[in-house]
Amino acid sequence: MSSTTNSVDIDRDVGNFFYNLTPARDAGVGLSEGTIDYIVDVKGEPEWLREFRKNALHVFMSKPLPTHWAGDELKAIDFDVIRYYLASGESAKRSWEEVPAEIKQTFERLGIPESERKFLAGVEAQFDSEAVYSNIKRAVADQGVIFMGSTEALKERPDIFRKWFGKVIPTGDNKFSSLNSAVFSGGSFIYVPPGIKVKHPLQAYFRINAENFGQFERTLIIADEGSEVMYMEGCTAPKFTTATLHSAVVELVALPGAKIQYITVQNWSPNVFNLVTKRGLALEQAEVKWIDCNIGSRLTMKYPSVVLKGRKARGEVISIALAGDGQHQDTGAKMIHAADETTSNIVSKSISIGKGRATYRGLVHVPKHLRGCKNNTECDALLINASSRTDTYPAITVRGTGNSTQHEASVSQISAEQIFYMQQRGLSEAQAMSLAVNGFVNDLVRQFPMEYSVELKRLIDLEMEGSVG
């Protein structure tokens, strides 16, 4: 076992440790049809999926890197040195006792079993390519809620899984969604039956342990008519010197009147490229809300989207990005209005520290002959140091009368007056800065579950300590 901790940055490094494991299943280095055959064979998947994956591989190979609008940073990814599938070969366990010791320790150090006991309705823990633990509280399962790994769901519930799989985000959506479609493994599958309101959140925890590894989980959540569900995901990886790739695809389907809330707190280590495609489909009067918090990674490119397909559907993205020194958080949101009286709201707040760069990229689309569609977008950026950078690149298309959109963005720094005011009341400069930054994001943080908002505040405090002076 090896771990490094930095005396100041202790919590930022909470995930910075790994175990030397030799996985029983290893697809080797690089990507080819052979890699796919390996994955399909060890997972015992049906032939249609082999074809689906191989087709996706060709799409991935044929698509260029999106460097014409994204930066050149993507060129640092070497797809030939990445390992695409690593697993122990055992199925997910129902109790922590059965999980192999070192993997169990990993999640204990991250506090997962403890949180499960306290406030979660179900937990899934993924270690590299596969879920190692998956459990749902009996009371919730008895209501007919399905919560399992996508590998399991493919085998046990192909009827529902296949119906929606790849429908919200098609293979060819972008280069990284096609990569995911080719080599996906793990991720969660949730089905909530009509009218069922899951009271407590379901949680998944994604952990990368191995070096030079790519994690490609695939999550599919279906909330049937009038149901409600909240899903939370957390992610960490140890700090390696080489690049690690995380490229998930998350599809949400909110059937009429359903509500899905999807909360992400991403705290990847600074060697991770986090390139994720997330999209929800909201039918009549349904609601999809993404709460997205990006703290770690070297480069994150993630634009949670909602396709508002039914009348009076509602979409919301709440986004917080903290770009520390050397990080680039390229985040945003997309709202595709496709029915009358649909409304969407995007609130994005970013903080850039040191040489950190926070980018907001957004898309709002209101096509012809819709009535009563409304979008509101607010982007606020806070710059902490002279070398910090922020960008805003929204694109808004509105056709016809009867709809309205508004976009506003502002960039500011913490005012010297505020800091002076707090300092003359006895706070140190770092404390004052932390307080000001926490104030900046406070209205959004309050929408997070308690545990996460406390954690986020602590992370901000720690980041600020190193940035003053």
Partner 1 sequence: MTTTEPSLILPPLTTAPEWFKELQTRAWAEYEAEPLPVRTNELWRFSSVKNLSLNDYVPAPEFLADAVRLTSRRSYQKPAGRLVFANDALFSAELLDPALKASGVIFTTLADALEKHSTLLRQHFMAQPAKLGSSKFAALHKALVRAGTFLWVPRDAEIQAPFEVFHLVEGDSAAVYPHTLIIADDNSKVTFIEHFVSFDPAQRGFACGVNDLVLKPGSKLTYVSLQEWSQNFVSVQINSTIAARDSVAVNLALNFGGKYSRLESVSRMVDRGARSDMLAVTVARGDQEFDQRTLQDHLQPDTTSDLLYKNALNDRTRTIFSGLIKVEPGAHHTDAYQKVRNLLLSDDAEANSMPGLEILADDVRCTHGATSGQVEPEELFYLKSRGIDDLAAKQLIARGFLNEVVARLPEAELSEYLQRQIEAQL
Shortest CB 360 distance to partner 1, Å? 9
Site membership for partner 1, residue 67 (CB under 8 A): no
Judged by DSSP in three states, 344 sits in strand
Alpha carbon 454 to chain centroid, angstroms: 19
Instruction: Out of 34, 46, 326, 400, name the contact with partner 1 by CB under 8 A.
Output: 400
Site membership for partner 1, residue 390 (CB under 8 A): yes
How many CA atoms within 13 Å lie on the side-chain side of 218? 26
Shortest CB 294 distance to partner 1, Å? 19
Confirm if 27 and 212 have CB atoms less than 8 A apart. Answer: no
Site membership for partner 1, residue 323 (CB under 8 A): no
Q: Can you tell me the distance from the alpha carbon of 353 to that of 328, in angstroms, rounded to the nearest whole number?
A: 11
Site membership for partner 1, residue 425 (CB under 8 A): no
Site membership for partner 1, residue 389 (CB under 8 A): yes
Q: Can you tell me the distance from the alpha carbon of 135 to that of 121, in angstroms, rounded to the nearest whole number?
A: 9
Instruction: Out of 368, 417, 446, 469, name the contact with partner 1 by CB under 8 A.
Output: 368
Residue 446: exposure state from Cβ atoms within 10 A (0-12, 13-18, ≥19): exposed
Shortest CB 383 distance to partner 1, Å? 4
Q: Can you tell me the distance from the alpha carbon of 68 to that of 300, in angstroms, rounded to the nearest whole number?
A: 17
Instruction: Out of 220, 383, 456, 459, name the contact with partner 1 by CB under 8 A.
Output: 383
Comparing CB distances to partner 1, the nearer of 91 and 418 is 418
Site membership for partner 1, residue 385 (CB under 8 A): yes
Report the relative pairing of strands 146-149 and 130-136 from DSSP bridges.
Answer: unpaired
Shortest CB 181 distance to partner 1, Å? 22
Site membership for partner 1, residue 195 (CB under 8 A): no
Q: Can you tell me the distance from the alpha carbon of 435 to that of 439, in angstroms, rounded to the nearest whole number?
A: 6
Query: Tell me, what amino acid is at 399?
Result: R
Comparing CB distances to partner 1, the nearer of 140 and 364 is 364
Tokens encoding 12: 């930022």
Judged by DSSP in three states, 422 sits in helix
Site membership for partner 1, residue 112 (CB under 8 A): no
Q: Can you tell me the distance from the alpha carbon of 243 to that of 268, in angstroms, rounded to the nearest whole number?
A: 12
Comparing CB distances to partner 1, the nearer of 249 and 366 is 366
* Binders in 428-467 for partner 1, by CB under 8 A: none
Site membership for partner 1, residue 395 (CB under 8 A): yes
Comparing CB distances to partner 1, the nearer of 47 and 408 is 408
Tokens encoding 198: 């899951």
Instruction: Out of 244, 329, 388, 453, name the contact with partner 1 by CB under 8 A.
Output: 388
Binding site for partner 1 (CB under 8 A): 68-69, 366, 368-369, 381, 383-413
